[in-house]
Amino acid sequence: MTGIYNKEYKFLFVHVPKCGGSSVYKALHGKAPSTSFALIPAIQSAMQRENQRNSDKVNSINHARAIDARSGLGETEFARLLSFGVVRDPWDRMRSRYHYSRKAFKRPHPAPLDGPFSDFAIWACLNHPATLYGRLTDHYHKLVVSRVLRFETLAEDFARLTTDLFGEAVELPLENVSENRNQDSYSDAAIDLMRKTFAVDFRLFGYPDSPG
């Protein structure tokens, strides 16, 4: 699914991968049909410019950053919106990324999905970390969105958000639920690399810097 912009109801949703975004998109778009980021050329252009200076690339316009949306829509328009994104414990999110990707690719799985989870975590940290702060903050790690929802309390957070937007809570469906096996263990090397890669996420969003 994709990040969306709604001019009438004055909201903007930044879709951070593997944080319940498909459910949020379906619920919001069902209540108030909105414009996908993919249909806003200025956001795509902003994303491409940012990719030239940012080592944590965004490969899909569907997952464009908050700063891409702000640049594409303009400061004045962005400031009037209730902009938001969803965050998730980086340790659990990495497990979800692994199992979702293994399910998405046909067997035999390509590297690094053909090996154990811990090897995938190391590869992801080194090659495609997809940090939370990279999607929701500016270059100084200051939040760009006006509200942050948490995956761990998403139903409650989304109910409050939609009550503010529409005057009533909107039900959140379950979409793209992937396996999330807590028994997937991190090697010592993976733990060290996760702590370095997601240090800002742990600090900014208050998640523990050790796997649960």
- What are the pLDDT digits (tens) for 52-68? 998 888 989 999 999 99
Percent of the chain with pLDDT over 90: 83
User: What confidence tier does 186 reach under pLDDT thresholds 50, 70, 90?
Assistant: very high
pTM confidence score: 0.93
**Residue range 86-107: average pLDDT?**
90
What mean pLDDT, rounded, does the chain reach? 93
Give the residue, 10 or 175, on which the prediction is more confident: 10
**Residue range 167-190: average pLDDT?**
81
At 111 the pLDDT is 73
Does residue 96 carry a pLDDT above 90?
yes
Beta-carbon contacts of 60 under 8 Å, excluding residues fewer than 6 positions away, are: none
Report the distance separating Cα 134 and Cα 58, nearest Å.
9
At 182 the pLDDT is 60
pLDDT in tens, 100-143: 888 877 777 667 888 899 999 999 999 999 999 999 999 999 99
**Residue range 134-162: average pLDDT?**
97
Q: Identify the bridge partners of residue 82 per DSSP, sorted by sequence position.
A: 11
Instruction: State which amino acid sits at residue 181.
Output: R
| Other Cβ atoms within 10 Å of 52 Cβ, number | 7
At 181 the pLDDT is 61
Q: Is 109 helix (H, G, I), strand (E, B) or coil?
A: coil
